[in-house]
C-alpha cells in the first residue's frame, strides 16, 4: 500500500531514484565503486557549496553528529550547546556522553535562538572552544538563523562551529564556505530524496586542526580513516551501495533543477502548507518568522488526542504525519514537506484534517 508519507524523514523516494537504487551489487573495493563514490562526493560538495573535505558515512544523521564530536572534542573541553528542540538536545547528549564540559543554552520550544544570547554566553565563558547547533529543527518546525549565528561564533569569537543540518541541507540554503561553517552534517533520508543509510559531513581546515589534538577514542567514525580510504576511492567499511546509487541519481536531479530553484520550491510548498493550516483554524507551533521550509509543526487543538488523530489519518486516508517527539508528544503534529512533495499531497492532508477535525 502506498501512503501519502508526510513525515520530516524518511521522505518519499521518486521512482527514478528507486530504480537507480535497484542496481546490482558491485565490489566496494573495485573500480566501479571508485567511480561511484567520487561522483557522489563531488556532487554533494556542490550542494554543500564547499571546497572542504567531505565524507560519506554509512549511518544515520546521528552518526554524523557523533563523528563531529569524537573527532574534534576531547573530554573536559568546554562546549556551548544551543538547542531549540529534541535534535539539539541529542547533539548535546552526544557531547555530554563523551565527557565534554557542556553549557546548555536551551531555547523555548517553537522559538529560534537569538544570536545575542550566544554572544552573551561566549563573553561570559571564554574557555568555550566549540559551539554545537542545529540548523533546522524538525521537532519544533524551526530554522535557526545560521548565518547570523556563524557571524557571532566564527566572526567575533573564532570558535569551532559544528552544525547539524541533517534535515536542512539540500532543502534550504546552507552555503558552507561563505558562512564559514567548520563541520556540517546531513543525512540521505531528508531533502536528498533517497533512502536512509548514508550521512554526509564536511570538515574545514580548522576542524582538522581540532581533530589532530582531540583525544576522544574513535574507530568507526575516524575521519583520518575516511580520508585515507577516499584517496583510494573507497569507504573504510562496507558502504550502503544501493543508497549510493540512489544518491548519485538524486544529486543529478537536484543539480539539474538548480539549488536556487530547489530552495524556492521548498519555500513555496512551505508557505502553501502554513497558510492552508491557518485557513482551517489551526495554530502553528513555531514562531512564523523562523518557521522551517521543510516541516510545519501544528499545535494540537483543545480536546483533540493527537495519537488518535494520526491513527485515523493513516487508517482512513492513507496519510502518515509525524507526532510530537519526547517532551512534545501530544502537544502537536507535524507535516513534512521536504524533498519530493507533489502539491496535491499537501491538499490531501489539509482535506483530511478538515474532515477529521470538523473544520
Structure confidence by residue, pLDDT tens digits, 24-70: 999 999 999 999 999 999 999 999 999 999 999 999 999 999 999 99
- Among 272, 355, 267, 281, CA closest to 316: 355
d(CA 180, CA 188): 23
Mean pLDDT of all residues belonging to the chain: 98
Contact between 12 and 340 (Cβ < 8 Å):
yes
Distance CA 320, CA 150 (A): 35
Residue where a domain terminates, one of 181, 207, 242: 242
Same domain, yes or no, for 347 and 198? no
Predicted TM-score of the model (pTM): 0.97
Q: What is the CATH number of the domain that holds 347?
A: 3.90.1150.10
Q: pLDDT tens digits for 288-344?
A: 999 999 999 999 999 999 999 999 999 999 999 999 999 999 999 999 999 999 999
For residue 33, what is its C-alpha cell?
565503486
Closest to 329 in 3D by CA, of 353, 348, 310: 310
CATH number at 230 reads 3.40.640.10
Structural domain tally of the chain? 2
d(CA 265, CA 335): 16
209 and 100, same domain (yes or no): yes
Given 189, 217, 242, the domain boundary residue is 242
Are 67 and 57 in contact, with CB atoms under 8 Å apart? yes
Answer yes or no: is pLDDT of 1 > 70: no
Q: Which domain holds residue 28?
A: 21-242
The pLDDT tens digits for 60-111 are: 999 999 999 999 999 999 999 999 999 999 999 999 999 999 999 999 999 9
Number of continuous H segments (helices) and E segments (strands) in the chain: 12, 14
Which of 179, 210, 242 lies at the terminal end of a domain, its last residue?
A: 242
Q: Is residue 54 part of a domain?
A: yes
Per-position DSSP letters for 42-82, written without gaps between them: HHHHHHHT--SEEEEESS-HHHHHHHHHHHH--TT-EEEEE
Residues 233 and 271 in one domain: no
User: CA dist 301 to 59, 281, 309, 331, 333, Å?
Assistant: 37, 9, 11, 9, 10
Residue 2 confidence class, pLDDT cut points 50, 70, 90: confident
Residue 177 has pLDDT above 80, yes or no: yes
Inside any domain, residue 250: no
DSSP string of 167-228, one letter each residue: TTBTTB---TTTTT-SEEEEETTSTT-S-SS-EEEEE-HHHHHHHHH--S--STT-HHHHHH
Task: Please report how the helices 61-72 and 205-213 are oriented relative to each other, as an axis angle in degrees rounded to 10.
Answer: 60
Does 15 reside within a domain? no
Q: How far apart are CA 298 and CA 344, in angstroms?
A: 19
Instruction: In whole angstroms, give the CA distance from residue 182 to residue 160.
Output: 6
Does residue 146 share a domain with residue 110? yes
Please check whether residues 238 and 127 belong to one and the same domain: yes
Amino acid at each position: 500500500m502506498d501512503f501519502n508519507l508526510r513525515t520530516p524523514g524518511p521522505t518519499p523516494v521518486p521512482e527514478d531514484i528507486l530504480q537507480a537504487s535497484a542496481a546490482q551489487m558491485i565490489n566496494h573495493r573495485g573500480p566501479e565503486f571508485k567511480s561511484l563514490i567520487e561522483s557522489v562526493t563531488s556532487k554533494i560538495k556542490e550542494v554543500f557549496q564547499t571546497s572542504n573535505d567531505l565524507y560519506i558515512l554509512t549511518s544515520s544523521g546521528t552518526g554524523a553528529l557523533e563523528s563531529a564530536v569524537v573527532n574534534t572534542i576531547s573530554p573536559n573541553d568546554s562546549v556551548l550547546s544551543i538547542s531549540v528542540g529534541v535534535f539539539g538536545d541529542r547533539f548535546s547528549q552526544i557531547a555530554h556522553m563523551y565527557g565534554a564540559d557542556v553549557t546548555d543554552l536551551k531555547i523555548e520550544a517553537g522559538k529560534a535562538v537569538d544570536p545575542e544570547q550566544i554572544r552573551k554566553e561566549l563573553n561570559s565563558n571564554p574557555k568555550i572552544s566549540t559551539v554545537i547547533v542545529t540548523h533546522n529543527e524538525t521537532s519544533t518546525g524551526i530554522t535557526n538563523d545560521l548565518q547570523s549565528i556563524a557571524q557571532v561564533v566564527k566572526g567575533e569569537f573564532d570558535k569551532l562551529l559544528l552544525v547539524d543540518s541533517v534535515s536542512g541541507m539540500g532543502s534550504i540554503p546552507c552555503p558552507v564556505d561563505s558562512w564559514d561553517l567548520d563541520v556540517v552534517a546531513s543525512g540521505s533520508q531528508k531533502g536528498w530524496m533517497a533512502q536512509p543509510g548514508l550521512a554526509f559531513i564536511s570538515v574545514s581546515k580548522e576542524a582538522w586542526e581540532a581533530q589532530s589534538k582531540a583525544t576522544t577514542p574513535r574507530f568507526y567514525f575516524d575521519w583520518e580513516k575516511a580520508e585515507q580510504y577516499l584517496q583510494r576511492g573507497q569507504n573504510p567499511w562496507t558502504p550502503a551501495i544501493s543508497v549510493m546509487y540512489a544518491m548519485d541519481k538524486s544529486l543529478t536531479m537536484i543539480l539539474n533543477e538548480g539549488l536556487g530553484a530547489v530552495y524556492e520550491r521548498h519555500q513555496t510548498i512551505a508557505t502553501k502548507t502554513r497558510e492552508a493550516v491557518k485557513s482551517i483554524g489551526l495554530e502553528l507551533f513555531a514562531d512564523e518568522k523562523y518557521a522551517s521550509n521543510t516541516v510545519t509543526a501544528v499545535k494540537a487543538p483543545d480536546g483533540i488526542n493527537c495519537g488518535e488523530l494520526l491513527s485515523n489519518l493513516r487508517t482512513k486516508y492513507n496519510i502518515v504525519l509525524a507526532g510530537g517527539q519526547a517532551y512534545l508528544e501530544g502537544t502537536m503534529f507535524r507535516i513534512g514537506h521536504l524533498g519530493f512533495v507533489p502539491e496535491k499531497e499537501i491538499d490531501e492532508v489539509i482535506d483530511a484534517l478538515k474532515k477529521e477535525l470538523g473544520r
